[in-house]
Amino acid sequence: MTEARDWHAEITRWTERFRGEPRPPAAFAAALSDGWDPAARDALAAGAEEHARHQRGFLEQLRREGCELVRIDMADDDCSVCEDLGGKVFAMDDDHPDLPRHPTMPLCPACRHRVNLLTPFFLSSLGLTVDDLAGGTDILRDLE
């Protein structure tokens, strides 16, 4: 079981992080311009928790099914901070020490990036192996 996240505290931290970012999510851009509206902040926190719950459930399902690798896919309106994760491959456990472990999802409270499983069949269909993915390469990003 994962520890509950304090979305209001995370929203405060991310608000500061987004100062000076070229493309903050709309909710943060509005807050940086006009300050946080309490209702907008509550809605963002609720949406982040719902998305996190869905991602946790999906990751648990993948673990039960023996999935070893996941890829992070971005939504069209994800922020400039999160976009660097798009297309990157992460390990579900310690079986692949050359790959980073998947991060807690979502990263940013406003973005709706998601994890998707990566199967050996998919990799082999591209002529790739797990070793090709080591070292944080963006080899799969170029395939989109």
Query: Locate tokens 């790959």: which residue?
Result: 99
Which pTM does this prediction carry? Answer: 0.80
Maximal C-alpha separation, the chain: 51
Choose among 44, 20, 40, 22: nearest CA to 109.
44
What pLDDT score was predicted for residue 140?
55
What pLDDT score was predicted for residue 115?
85
Contacts of 131 (CB under 8 A, 6+ apart): 98
Distance between CA atoms of residues 143 and 122, nearest Å: 12
What pLDDT score was predicted for residue 54?
93
pLDDT mean for each 10 residues of the chain (144 residues): 82 94 91 95 96 91 89 84 84 83 84 83 76 61 50
What pLDDT score was predicted for residue 135?
56
